[in-house]
């Protein structure tokens, strides 16, 4: 658009918004001298350019993309550069501009400007005039000239003084550096901090031929309550220490060597090239007077631009292939719609908070990736669906729904991912090709099903390498079976399981906590499952191996999917704690609990299974087939399906029993109880104690009788009366 006339309307320029994988065309607007744009200018998605040599009446929103704004004209409102790595160059008038998100470059030129960096590592330059320069979040670089007001904000910022007539320079939080203007000059730190023109800096960089006097009290003021001050300098710089100081062990920080001087709790770290000596009679000064003219405008409604609000409403924001980072203090939210969507190779890294909050339509999604994008979460991702529970059918609400591409990089979570729904199913993470979790993943539904991690690949579908890593917590809490259509995510797990910790394809290794429980609204008779192990698209011959080094909890802790009538020989290796039953299928399955604890029953179903217990009490039900059961230590139980009369029980050697019945021949070792349908018997191993009563010496058989112990290894006791 090239304009030399007048374009007037509520929107003088409105670029179409399209949340799709096709980039919007780049908008290039030239508002020539004499041209007027009267209205709101919204350029939206794309790497847009706006050259303004005329007049803009209203605000300008450059939108998403790496945009540029420049020109000699005027803008009555503010210029919001939006998302992306943008470039803004103002005019000689009083400019108001905010960088928004991204690593932006903002220059004010003339006039008393307000430039706000926003989120990202920004570069701000006020140029002529008494300007307000706000770095806000990120590692910013700010250059002053004249009577500027500087608030660098959070992050490790650098403030470079163009001269010594600035009004205020605040470093803010982080490790901030103040760089002196060039020119030979001597300073006294106590004079520099007098009047609070400078504070919140941890590092001072001197230029050539500049000396400085430092005392311990001024260090605390310069660093805004800190106790350590770094001074960067060279051989032409001298540090004069006022008071009692001692030289201690030198240090190296970020490759720079420093002399370390201490006085009480205060420490000065000075570049090793600098000259350090005691303060004598030298008298040095501080800053120049603040530049003349109207003071730099303070941010606020009256000035037309305030500090950036870190909380932003954002709905269905399309991510392209460029990385997108949500910063620690940043909050994005939507009204039940997706906050971020992508069908490309996006990388979304979250250090902040992302919410989707719905109260009308009964399903919500926070992150929705349809392609091979990657999510790295160090913050909070939350979906909250509070629509009333009624008689309609509900779809699941997802905190994170991934594309499931085998080529995608893993979903990494060290923060919190939480899905909450009143009416329908809640799924925290769905369809991740691989998962690395060291944080917390939770799904809670008040009236329906809940799945912590759904449709994840525990192992690669082709080479079977491990793709699921959990050393954190995965939690699912269900309120009931719900009334939803099983078409989006929760259809993989049978409806009888209302809460599922992890539903995975292939083998899985757990080093953390996986829990599936019932909520307060749920019928206590409902079933939950900790890990539901699914076949690779119905492949009934591929085994799944579950290794637990942490904790798995559910009414049924581990269940193997019987889709395709699986005959695979699955295996569970328990080196941790399992609370709940394990359900194998018809293959020759293996349970190895020799190094763990099992609070539940291991069901073998069909096949010739092998089950091994450990130091805790184990319960095994081999089912059909010729099973080998070893209880290990403690008091263990084997279960068969029929009545006692249908089986023969034979001790083949000490502590080893053969049980023969209609469901096969089982070999029991270190099993103390055998449970039938109608009774339970104790299996008494050993050869007994020989007692010889054919002796005239009663002490002989009395000693033998005293050697008889009960099942727990305790003496039988008695009243001391023996046969004579």
Same domain, 707 and 636: no
DSSP classification of residue 616? S
DSSP classification of residue 435? E
The Cα 130–Cα 436 span in angstroms is 50
Same domain, 648 and 719: no
H-helix or E-strand spanning residue 217: helix 216-222
* 176 contacts 170 by C-beta, under 8 angstroms: no
Same domain, 387 and 431: yes
Beta strands 246-253; 256-263: pairing state: antiparallel
**Strand, coil or helix: what is 687?**
coil
* Residue 513, C-beta contacts closer than 8 angstroms, at least 6 positions apart: 472, 473, 474, 475, 550, 551, 553
The Cα 47–Cα 215 span in angstroms is 51
Distances (CA, A) of 689 to 195, 356, 583, 684, 707: 96, 73, 41, 13, 8
DSSP classification of residue 645? G
Residue 425 included in any domain: yes
**Strand, coil or helix: what is 551?**
strand
Nearest Cα to Cα of residue 502 among 562, 459, 565: 459
Token output for 368: 């929705």
**Strand, coil or helix: what is 575?**
coil
- DSSP for 485-543, written as a single string: -TTSSTTSS-TTEEEEEEEEES-EEESSEEEEEE-TTS-TT-EEEEEEEE-STT-SSS-
The Cα 369–Cα 564 span in angstroms is 30
The Cα 317–Cα 338 span in angstroms is 8
The Cα 504–Cα 498 span in angstroms is 16
* 554 contacts 516 by C-beta, under 8 angstroms: yes
Same domain, 160 and 198: yes
Residue 720 included in any domain: yes
The Cα 365–Cα 401 span in angstroms is 8
Query: Phi/psi of residue 557, each to 5°?
Result: -70, -45
The Cα 585–Cα 590 span in angstroms is 11
Q: What residues make up the domain containing 661?
A: 535-687
**Strand, coil or helix: what is 705?**
helix
Nearest Cα to Cα of residue 503 among 549, 543, 544: 544
Same domain, 99 and 185: yes
Beta strands 497-505; 527-534: pairing state: parallel
**Of 202, 222, 240, which residue sits at a domain end?**
202
The Cα 309–Cα 276 span in angstroms is 45
Same domain, 638 and 705: no
The Cα 303–Cα 298 span in angstroms is 7
Q: Within 10 Å of residue 400's Cβ, how many Cβ atoms?
A: 28
- Averaged over successive runs of 10 residues, the pLDDT of the chain (724 residues) comes to 96 74 73 97 92 97 94 96 96 95 94 95 96 97 98 97 98 97 97 95 98 97 96 98 95 94 97 95 96 94 86 91 90 95 93 93 89 95 89 79 81 98 93 94 96 91 87 97 66 90 94 98 96 73 89 98 70 98 94 98 95 98 97 96 96 95 96 97 74 69 65 54 45
Same domain, 110 and 165: yes
Per-position b or e across 666-703, b if 16+ CB within 10 A of its CB? bbbbbbbbbebeeeeeebebeeeeeeeeeeeeeeebee
Sign of the torsion angle spanned by Cα atoms 288, 292, 296, 297: positive
* Residue 627, C-beta contacts closer than 8 angstroms, at least 6 positions apart: 604, 608, 609, 610, 611, 620, 664, 666, 667
Token output for 42: 């919204």
The Cα 475–Cα 469 span in angstroms is 15
Nearest Cα to Cα of residue 526 among 497, 554, 551: 497
Residue 114 included in any domain: yes
Nearest Cα to Cα of residue 553 among 589, 603, 510, 585: 510
Residue 247 included in any domain: no
Residue 20 included in any domain: yes
Of the CA atoms within 13 Å of residue 147, those in its CB half-sphere come to: 14
Farthest-apart Cα atoms in the chain, separation = 133
Query: Phi/psi of residue 193, each to 5°?
Result: -90, -10
* 619 contacts 637 by C-beta, under 8 angstroms: yes
Query: Phi/psi of residue 148, each to 5°?
Result: -80, 150
Q: Within 10 Å of residue 577's Cβ, how many Cβ atoms?
A: 18
The Cα 340–Cα 354 span in angstroms is 9
Residue 281 included in any domain: no
Residue 182 included in any domain: yes
* 42 contacts 13 by C-beta, under 8 angstroms: yes
Q: Within 10 Å of residue 66's Cβ, how many Cβ atoms?
A: 18
Same domain, 710 and 590: no
pTM of the model: 0.85
Residue 213 included in any domain: no
Beta strands 168-170; 198-199: pairing state: parallel
The Cα 149–Cα 706 span in angstroms is 94
**Of 178, 202, 226, which residue sits at a domain end?**
202
* Residue 58, C-beta contacts closer than 8 angstroms, at least 6 positions apart: 12, 37, 38, 39, 40, 41, 76, 77
H-helix or E-strand spanning residue 221: helix 216-222
**Of 499, 527, 555, which residue sits at a domain end?**
527
pLDDT at 20: 46
pLDDT at 722: 46
H-helix or E-strand spanning residue 247: strand 246-253
Query: Phi/psi of residue 644, each to 5°?
Result: -60, -35
Number of domains in the chain: 4
Nearest Cα to Cα of residue 561 among 584, 528, 541: 584
Same domain, 627 and 701: no
For the chain, first and last CA: distance in Å?
A: 121
* Residue 341, C-beta contacts closer than 8 angstroms, at least 6 positions apart: 19, 316, 317, 318, 319, 368, 369, 370
Question: Between vectors from CA 577 to CA 617 and to CA 517, what angle results, nearest 5°?
Answer: 110
pLDDT at 406: 72
* 702 contacts 693 by C-beta, under 8 angstroms: no
- DSSP for 369-430, written as a single string: E-SS-EEEESSEEEEEE-PPP-SS-BPPEEEEE----TTSPPEEESSEEEEEESSS-EEEEE
Sign of the torsion angle spanned by Cα atoms 307, 309, 314, 318: positive
Token output for 441: 């993943």
* 338 contacts 316 by C-beta, under 8 angstroms: yes
- In this structure, the dihedral spanned by the alpha carbons of residues 554, 556, 558 and 561, taken in order and rounded to 10 degrees, is -130
The Cα 324–Cα 15 span in angstroms is 22
Same domain, 712 and 677: no
Same domain, 681 and 694: no
Same domain, 664 and 716: no
């Amino acid at each position: 658009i090239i304009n030399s006339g007048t374009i007037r309307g509520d929107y003088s320029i409105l670029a179409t918004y399209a949340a799709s994988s096709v980039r919007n065309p780049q908008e290039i607007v030239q508002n020539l001298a004499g041209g007027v744009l009267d209205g709101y200018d919204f350029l939206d998605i794309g790497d847009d350019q706006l050259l303004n040599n005329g007049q803009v009446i209203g605000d300008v929103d450059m939108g998403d993309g790496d945009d540029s704004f420049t020109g000699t004209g005027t803008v009555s409102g503010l210029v919001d550069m939006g998302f992306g790595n943008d470039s803004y160059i103002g005019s000689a008038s009083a400019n108001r501009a905010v960088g928004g998100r991204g690593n932006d470059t903002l220059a004010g030129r003339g006039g008393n400007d307000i430039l706000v960096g926003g989120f990202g590592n920004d570069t701000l330059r006020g140029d002529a005039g008494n300007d307000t320069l706000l770095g806000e979040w990120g590692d910013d670089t700010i250059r002053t000239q004249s009577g500027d007001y500087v608030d660098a904000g959070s992050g490790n910022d650098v403030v470079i003084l163009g001269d010594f007539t600035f009004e205020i320079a605040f470093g803010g939080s982080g490790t901030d550096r103040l760089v002196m203007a060039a020119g030979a000059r001597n300073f006294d730190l106590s004079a520099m901090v007098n009047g609070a023109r400078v504070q919140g800096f941890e590092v001072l960089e001197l230029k050539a031929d500049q000396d400085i006097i430092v005392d311990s009290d001024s260090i605390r003021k310069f660093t805004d309550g800190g106790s350590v001050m770094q001074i960067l300098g060279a051989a032409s710089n001298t540090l004069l220490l006022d008071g009692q100081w001692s030289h201690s062990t030198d240090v190296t920080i970020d490759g720079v060597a420093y002399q370390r001087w201490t006085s009480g709790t205060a420490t000065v770290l000075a570049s090793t090239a600098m000259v350090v000596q005691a303060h004598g009679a030298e008298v040095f000064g501080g800053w120049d007077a603040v530049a003349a003219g109207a003071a730099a405008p303070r941010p606020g409604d009256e000035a037309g631009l305030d500090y950036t609000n870190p909380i932003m409403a954002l709905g269905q924001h399309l991510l392209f292939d460029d990385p997108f980072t949500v910063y620690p203090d940043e909050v994005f939210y939507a009204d039940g719609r997706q906050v971020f969507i992508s069908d490309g190779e996006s990388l979304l890294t979250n250090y902040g908070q992302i919410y989707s909050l719905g109260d009308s339509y009964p399903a919500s999604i926070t992150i929705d990736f349809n392609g091979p994008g990657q999510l790295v979460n160090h913050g909070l991702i939350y979906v909250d669906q509070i629509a009333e529970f009624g008689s309609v059918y509900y779809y699941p609400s997802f905190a994170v729904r991934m594309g499931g591409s085998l080529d995608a990089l893993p979903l990494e979570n060290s923060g919190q991912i939480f899905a909450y729904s009143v009416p329908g199913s809640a799924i925290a993470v769905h369809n991740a090709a691989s998962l690395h979790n060291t944080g917390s993943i939770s799904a809670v539904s008040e009236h329906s099903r809940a799945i912590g991690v759904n449709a994840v690949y525990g192992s690669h579908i082709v080479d079977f390498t491990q793709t699921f890593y959990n050393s954190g917590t995965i939690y699912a809490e269900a309120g009931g079976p719900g009334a939803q259509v099983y078409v989006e995510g929760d259809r993989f797990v049978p409806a009888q399981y209302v809460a599922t910790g992890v539903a995975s394809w292939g083998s899985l290794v757990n080093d953390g906590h996986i829990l599936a429980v019932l909520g307060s609204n749920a019928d206590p008779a409902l079933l939950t499952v900790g890990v539901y192990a699914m076949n690779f698209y119905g492949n009934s011959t591929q085994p799944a191996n579950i290794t637990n080094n942490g904790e798995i909890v559910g009414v049924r802790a581990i269940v193997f999917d019987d889709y395709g009538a699986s005959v695979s020989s699955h295996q569970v290796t328990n080196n941790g704690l399992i609370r709940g039953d394990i359900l194998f299928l018809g293959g020759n399955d293996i349970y190895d609990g020799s190094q763990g604890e099992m609070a539940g029953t291991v069901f073998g179903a069909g096949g010739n299974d092998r089950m091994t217990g450990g130091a805790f009490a184990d319960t095994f039900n081999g089912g059909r087939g010729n099973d080998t059961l070893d209880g290990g230590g403690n008091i263990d139980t084997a279960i068969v399906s029929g009545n006692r009369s249908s089986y023969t029980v034979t001790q083949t050697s000490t502590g080893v029993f053969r049980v023969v019945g209609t469901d096969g021949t089982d070999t029991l070792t270190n099993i103390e109880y055998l449970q039938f349908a109608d009774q339970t018997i104790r299996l008494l191993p050993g050869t007994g104690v020989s007692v010889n009563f054919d002796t005239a010496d009663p002490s002989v058989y009395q000693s033998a009788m005293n050697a008889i112990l009960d099942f727990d290894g305790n003496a039988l006791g008695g009243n001391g009366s023996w046969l004579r």
